[in-house]
Structure 1
């Protein structure tokens, strides 16, 4: 290998093929006997050269400074870079290798799938006899001791990078790599750096583990421009954000921009193409990585490799990852309580040959966490997992018609747990529906198309995508009016969804006009007491509430409370919501005690039918806290608001607007008591 200087103590070195004994003149005593020549040894065809970073390394200054400071000869422990595939571990290691070379260190770059011949070649470059290397190559443990003796005694400092150690057992088949009895060891001769997808500090201990994360928005934008070969790429910030700061995605996008300038003159044009899915990057970039290791250079392949590694020991992990991607699309957190074993038994995650139980599920989740495909935390007071948005999107785009049972099971699970987090549930339902439409193997019936259209508009509104709900609803309703007629139930439901989208966007005049027209049609088609008619009346009553017209709000909801109570009883959800809206109006009219009585009555009913940690009970606590604060009852107000905050942190998260609002009201109450 050409880049390493001969060790200073390798005196009288000879070059070329020499057979028999090599004698020095001062060693000759008496007659000279030359042994017969031996067969030449075979030189392993391995590369020990480090890769060179293709562009400036962005966003890793702090990590590289830490590694440079740690890179001393005789460092007490190896260092390990962990993180998902495609997050830039190898790039960081290559940047450190550049620094080491500049400092006069010898650099060895080793892939664990060729670790034995590579490490033997390192020892030979250190001056060890190749004949000895040939003698120990059949005994890996002896070979490791032999190689490390030469590394320990090296006269010149070295950096050894064990790159892509994604199968840690290749570093030591018998022991934990951190025990340093295999190929990963600390040494008085140099510094050892390992890169691996396996983020398991206990496996590597006492090695120092550094987790490599995605890039910040600013660094991601710069990295994208670097790969595109331009200082300023219009739209780079938006595209970098769309790609989630994932280095491999940024590199692919940059190469596409650099190569396909006619198709994509700027980042905005490529961003527009990715509306059809982020795996479009792979389709555009695959010719650019032809002949290379595509499983580490294409977006879909890089995470498929992780799944293959996991699947060897945890066969349920791949299906579980799809399950989690559907339950938590766009990186949304999924509470582990949404995965009850009782509901999952007999489903796609179960297997008669390997029955699903809590231990198996926990091990499969942990395997995904260790590979970096899933993150875990307790941010809302309970165990949660979530995927990086780009990982989730890539996984979901890989769904096929054979995944139909998986889609069915996720839908069933969401329905069984309805109401815990309406926003997340709606987003998950929408994701399932969209992928069901995309992956089905046969054309749907007209009735199926209509039902899906109605559901999509409804789910978009629930998920807060009101502009999209309006746009799609208006497109759907034109077709429905032509094929089904203007008074068909599904046509009216879609018109209802459009009006709701206007209401939620604050377009109250449009919403009111649409609802009044719907009311006339529903009265004519269904009558005054039909659910569809009452639902329209409910939404019409919300409009004066949004305008702050409190008397009109009360006048709109009172008859609805009476009608719904007669038909469904006092515990009906719509009855309770209507009573809550009346109480809200009373509160704003200064009738705090009357409002408090209504809020308390609603809360008592919800406690009978729901549990204390339900979001609707928390909503009652929120309103009670506000009205009691207005009445000067700070202690009781504080108690209710604290309950509300606790539930919302757990179910919605710290940063959710509803959580922030409740916390602000609690702060006001606390300030008022000081």
Structure 2
């Protein structure tokens, strides 16, 4: 088909693995939605960047797929595989239109390029197929099997459907969560670069290759009709490996030249110059073997050269900077910082970003905050072509930008979806920086001689350590908003990635492992948390000493697990030693010291509370106010735990007044569903029951149990405790502790 563009119009011929994922983040407290932030705006429309006008040379493939969607049968899984940019997404898009428009199937489209996007998209599918808010809330926070929920809803769907899992280039993501299944209710189509049959047991595999010569030439002519003849286009198409994505980008580049338009011959001469052409020439031959993302990298290099030639080198620097991060939405505010000056003048950042957007090298997306989103193939290709001497400055700049975007002192607060947006970028930078060098594996710590080792550490390992510190602090911030699943995923992945460059006994790696253990505890995975924290604490104690702040952090975390895991006596012993060491090293008024002392209020029995420091422990909340102020998180926690201690001592009126005060402050800070609020309200139910108002107590406990079931899942330890307490109150078998007369 010969197509021409007029005025500002464009004709698009083919599409590769380009996609747009649009997220909208909403506060569940305001919307009542269990989904929360991070879901795609729609799974009913294919989230792809460019839709082909005509799909060339795919008739045989579409004919086979058409037969599947035309029949009323389900249960089939089709895997479209091939090199990146071959048009797998374009084939899936055409099939999607056929299935929905001609045969009335429900069309569902999910970006499966990474774990977060797949999870969000599949939960949106579950919502589309009728899942309730409670089910979605529990699945989102990882407290019930999310994949089981999704496939149960798909199996029970009253309408036949077609589900497309696009850009599933890491099959392990699908396998680990059991996200890919067959169903009698519909047909699944997967697009991927991974062709090995072992990844797709039971699926029907279909290879998608490059375009024939004539069809490839027509792609260039349709996009840039004034740049040359069909034969000239055929020559360029061959040099580009007849890869649809490379052809689309090359044609778009030629069409956008205004001041000094290039012809196809000019484009061809640039392809022949220098080493940059090597990977492009292998495009048609590299369907297996090396990562095919690298085979189209030099196509974008021509655009970067054009930026340089036209006096806009800042766009090159910005794209290379973005290529150190992830192929996920990045808040534009991250780029609006003075630290970017090492790569490009801050005053030129706006013009540079505009140039990238104008050349289809990025897109603006709205997630409640403006973000720039670049395609993964583009970023990987640019990263591979970035001059090695520029990489250290780019990595150091990216670290500083992310560091400035993460709270310097993470504090407890309501769920903040913006924090999640930063996590994939920190991990991507950690992955890239960790491949630039290796260290001796020797730990960095407080032991003698460590400063000399640090100064001799390779630059890449030092950068990795800096990124790791940012990622760990981000995990802390996520944890303290109650997003324990994201905190665990971030800390665990950061530790694993950094360990390759820094070694398992590096101080930062061990700190990330400790944060991982804390989040495992909050997720109810006590055995895993205890084992990891014991191992980490032992390593820190051996390397840094028993009184090192990092060692003491792990001690505090471990006693939390032990106290909730039926090992109270060991927890008390460990906590006493932690308090003593923190008081000596940090001082008695330090927040960490006061936090540990507040934990003691939750572990002691009535006689122990009365005897502890002559009863001065019961005055801890006032001490926290003097040192930290009345609104500090540790002060609020101490007030909560003080109410618990009064309850254990049988001082019910005082306990009730204190916990009501704590609940009011908690709800103002965190909202009604934060774990700290639910814990405080459970104690309130007990104080009310102890004061004789069993009806009110049962109502409070019923609400707490329902909220914990929704957010944590029915089998979480905290949910079980709440459910048992509710049952005892309803039956009248629950009894408050007797007043302590000692």
TM-score w.r.t. the length of structure 1 is 0.43
TM-score w.r.t. the length of structure 2 is 0.39
- Structure number with bigger Rg: 1
Larger relative contact order (Cα-Cα within 8 Å, sequence gap ≥ 6): 2
